[in-house]
Amino acid sequence: MKALGIILAGGNNSKMQELSNKRAIAAMPVGGSFRCIDFALSNMSNSHIQKVAVLTQYNARSLNEHLSSSKWWDFGRKQGGLYVFNPTVTSDNAWWYRGTADAMYRNITFLKQSHEPYVIIAAGDCVYKMDYNKLLEYHIEKKADITIVCKDMPVGEDVSRFGVVRMNEDSRIVEFEEKPMVAQSNTISAGIYVLRRRQLIEMLERCAEENRYDFVTDILIRYKNMKRIFGYKLETYWNNISTVESYYKTNMDFLRPEIRRYFRDEPRIYSKVDDLPPAKYNVGSEVRNSLVSSGCIINSKVENSILFKKAFVGKNCVIKNSIILNDVYIGDNTHIENCIVESRDTLRANTYFSGGDGIKVVYEHNERYVI
């Protein structure tokens, strides 16, 4: 194979509020049945990249659990495999990963012992579908040193949480600003890169010598004028999960039939299978414009919402414009509007939750008494 994959899944973002207390962003449930990292992993698998390293750091319990077997994404073969690299203490390093470049540098042996000529680096917190082979072809054709996947955001959208780029007419990147106060363009970096493996090793070693740790500021921005860095425009669906609002919006996108069809068509997105029974609708259920996952049992009203796996909705409830994460028990007569209910939660009967004009993250720490 021509490339190996690295998925950066160590990140946390305080803008995810309580949602990030339980897990890294890459392990956030998405679209009713997926985890965020499934998209990058499935893209790798569907692009025939057989050797993939996942770099984790922040609260990796949930993510490690999700990756406990690699067979769901068709990894785990004699050629290649899925490697999960948590930070480890070594004789010459007692630190956590101090940045994305440091995280890769600390696993440089993995890079050195591989034989694939190219490396695809992808963030684990994006929802998209992509054939990395096309990116690689473009990279080779442009004789680029590094190629960055870029996405044009709608004019007027706040891009201050992204890396903003400007390309010249040859698609070479002439400007790259990380999280700018005032953005010069609406083209952003999608957090997906390709470069030669030897080039990456060289750059990472130099970074380490100079005590620099971040891939974006210390490699992409610093080398911008010295190396040939190109942009590759991604025209299809792409969304990044880094705030409660973007998480809510990305999930709600799955209520649109064209988005559902896009992700459902070949090549498919894979995930760990949970072996839950089909969803069950009892008398009194009134479900409209909603997604319902397997294992759910519904006894009342659900509107414009997404129920993840194994939600139990009691009698006379109203659930509106909300996201109910995995394994939530909702008691009778409960009203939930504009909320995200954290997974494995238990909501008592006769309670009221509303996000008002915004979105509220609900996490009650109730014990569950169910027979």
Cβ nearer to other proteins, comparing 71 with 249: 71
Q: How many residues bind other proteins (CB under 8 A)?
A: 37
Strands 339-341 and 360-362: parallel
What is the Cα–Cα distance from 228 to 15, expressed in whole angstroms? 34
Cβ nearer to other proteins, comparing 153 with 297: 297
Shortest separation between residue 358's beta carbon and other proteins, angstroms = 25
Is residue 119 left, alpha or beta, with left meaning phi > 0 and alpha meaning psi from -120 to 50? beta
Determine which residue in the list 10, 80, 124, 295 makes contact with other proteins, applying CB under 8 A: 295
Determine which residue in the list 250, 285, 322, 343 makes contact with other proteins, applying CB under 8 A: 285
Determine which residue in the list 280, 315, 320, 335 makes contact with other proteins, applying CB under 8 A: 280
- Residue 26 DSSP one-character state: G
The answer to whether 71 contacts other proteins (rule: CB under 8 A) is yes
The answer to whether 273 contacts other proteins (rule: CB under 8 A) is yes
Q: Which two tokens stand for residue 229?
A: 């860095």
The answer to whether 318 contacts other proteins (rule: CB under 8 A) is no
The answer to whether 289 contacts other proteins (rule: CB under 8 A) is yes
The answer to whether 287 contacts other proteins (rule: CB under 8 A) is yes
The answer to whether 250 contacts other proteins (rule: CB under 8 A) is no
Residues 296-315 that bind other proteins (CB under 8 A): 297, 306-308
- Measured CA angle at 128 (ends 293, 272), to 5 deg: 40
Q: Which stretch binds other proteins (CB under 8 A): 177-185, 232-240, 277-285, 359-367?
A: 277-285
Q: Which stretch binds other proteins (CB under 8 A): 20-28, 106-114, 205-213, 269-277?
A: 269-277
Cβ nearer to other proteins, comparing 258 with 357: 258
Q: Which two tokens stand for residue 224?
A: 């911008």
What is the Cα–Cα distance from 226 to 15, expressed in whole angstroms? 35
Q: Which stretch binds other proteins (CB under 8 A): 84-92, 147-155, 189-197, 268-276?
A: 268-276
Residues 12-51 that bind other proteins (CB under 8 A): 31-33
Shortest separation between residue 242's beta carbon and other proteins, angstroms = 24
Residues 117-146 that bind other proteins (CB under 8 A): none
| Residue type, position 80, single letter | G
Is residue 81 left, alpha or beta, with left meaning phi > 0 and alpha meaning psi from -120 to 50? left
The answer to whether 292 contacts other proteins (rule: CB under 8 A) is yes
CB-CB contact of 271 with 72 (8 Å): yes
Q: Which two tokens stand for residue 345?
A: 């939660």
What is the Cα–Cα distance from 186 to 163, expressed in whole angstroms? 10
Shortest separation between residue 32's beta carbon and other proteins, angstroms = 3
Cβ nearer to other proteins, comparing 4 with 313: 313
What is the Cα–Cα distance from 350 to 236, expressed in whole angstroms? 43
* Radius of gyration for the chain, computed over Cα atoms and rounded to the nearest angstrom: 22
The answer to whether 80 contacts other proteins (rule: CB under 8 A) is no
What is the Cα–Cα distance from 173 to 136, expressed in whole angstroms? 17
The answer to whether 76 contacts other proteins (rule: CB under 8 A) is no
Shortest separation between residue 327's beta carbon and other proteins, angstroms = 11
Find the distance separating the first CA and the last CA of the chain, reported in whole Å. 52
The answer to whether 361 contacts other proteins (rule: CB under 8 A) is no
What is the Cα–Cα distance from 31 to 325, expressed in whole angstroms? 10
Determine which residue in the list 264, 344, 348, 368 makes contact with other proteins, applying CB under 8 A: 264
CB-CB contact of 317 with 301 (8 Å): yes
Q: Which helix (H) or strand (E) holds 329?
A: strand 329-330
Q: Which stretch binds other proteins (CB under 8 A): 112-120, 136-144, 253-261, 342-350?
A: 253-261
Our CA dihedral for 117, 134, 120, 204, rounded to 10 degrees, sits at: 70
- Residue 216 DSSP one-character state: I
The answer to whether 294 contacts other proteins (rule: CB under 8 A) is yes
CB-CB contact of 42 with 267 (8 Å): yes
* Max CA pair span of the chain: 67
Shortest separation between residue 326's beta carbon and other proteins, angstroms = 12
Binding footprint of other proteins on the chain (CB under 8 A): 31-33, 71, 254-255, 257, 260, 263-264, 270-271, 273, 275, 277-295, 297, 306-308
